[in-house]
Structure 1
Amino acid sequence: MEAAIKTFFSSPRFAVIGASTDTGKYGYKVFSWYVSHSLPVTGVNPKAPVILERQTVSTLDGLESPSETSISIITPPAITLKTLEKAKELGIKIVWCQPGSESDDVLNYAKENGITCIANGACVLVDGESGLKNAGRDWKL
């Protein structure tokens, strides 16, 4: 998993599927983590056009360069599966399924379709610092 996390953080762009304006939700916490680490991140939320003073997009189709984007997913497994289907169509090769967003169907779909899926309890909020370091990304809080 360490190699996959290094690859994830080597990406030039990031997106958070399920980014939220609700400070109590993990969609907000994960998006905020990217922002606080000065990473080029886009929130994906069909209802909130701005989160943390950053423009969001309503769907993956709205990303500037989807095939160059690593995506964090914080949605229920059924939505995660639909997200992976769209990710495949857009050429996205690596995703991070936050705890609770994955299922056997999600993991099998990713594996069968050549999408690297970081999952099984790995969390950006816990594992992100070491992932950034391993990817050689400098950041300042």
Structure 2
Amino acid sequence: MSMKLKIKSFFGPSRQYAVTGASNNPSKFGFKILSWYISHDLPVVPVNPKETEILGQQVIPNVTKIISSIQDHSKVGSHDFSSTDGLSISFLTPPHITEATLREIAGISGYQQIIKGLWFQPGSYDQAVLETAESIGLFDKVVYEDECILIRGEEGLVSANL
């Protein structure tokens, strides 16, 4: 699948988004990218085990809790996943954390139906991360190659008719 198609399929009308490595520090991309989702009125969950709230959004400590709640069509705090068709995740974590997160995701039964897109921001991945995405069957949903959602996100929203 071309990168353009992967970017398009990252977005969807009933999609839930998550930002792993979301940050309260305005100089960090974890803050800027979370801001991008909020400014586009997209339902986004910041993921960070050390924070409780970022940009007025309740923080969830890990992605697995979001996936389980989407499967159950339930809520986690202020986030309602009752009508969500799946999850697209922006990664802003160091590669070893990104890889560990992928392994956690793979431990959830049915994860391949829930995960709709993985956007590895520059600096969040290395060869081991790409190999892990391949080994768990999600590589065809990965946006990488130094693609940044702040640059290509608008195109993805337009191509997905959002």
Q: What TM-score, normalized by structure 2, do the two folds share?
A: 0.80
Answer whether contact 2:17 2:45 (CA < 8 A) is retained. yes
Moved >4 Å (runs of 4+): none
Structure with the greater alpha carbon radius of gyration: 2
Distance between the aligned counterparts of 1:13 and 1:81, measured in 2? 21
Aligned to 1:84: 102
Answer whether contact 1:50 1:56 (CA < 8 A) is retained. yes
Spell out the pairing of 1:1-141 with structure 2 (5 A cutoff). Answer: 1-10=3-12, 12-63=15-66, 64-65=69-70, 68-90=86-108, 91=111, 92-115=115-138, 116-137=141-162
Report the alpha carbon displacement of residue 56 of structure 1 after superposing the two structures with TM. Answer: 1.0
Report the alpha carbon displacement of residue 52 of structure 1 after superposing the two structures with TM. Answer: 0.6
Number of aligned residue pairs:
137
Answer whether contact 1:99 1:123 (CA < 8 A) is retained. yes
- Point out where structure 2 has 5 or more consecutive residues left out of the alignment: 72-84
Distance between the aligned counterparts of 1:119 and 1:39, measured in 2? 21
- Point out where structure 1 has 5 or more consecutive residues left out of the alignment: none
RMSD: 1.4
Report the alpha carbon displacement of residue 13 of structure 1 after superposing the two structures with TM. Answer: 0.5
Report the alpha carbon displacement of residue 108 of structure 1 after superposing the two structures with TM. Answer: 1.1
Answer whether contact 1:16 1:73 (CA < 8 A) is retained. yes
Deviations 1:7-46 (A, max 9, x none): 1012610000000000000000011100000000000011
CA, structure 1 residues 93+108, in 2 after alignment: closer, same or farther (shift >3 Å)? farther
Question: Sequence identity, in percent?
Answer: 42
Distance between the aligned counterparts of 2:119 and 2:64, measured in 1? 18
Distance between the aligned counterparts of 2:145 and 2:39, measured in 1? 25
Could you tell which deviates more after superposition, 123-132 or 65-74? 65-74
Report the alpha carbon displacement of residue 62 of structure 1 after superposing the two structures with TM. Answer: 2.6
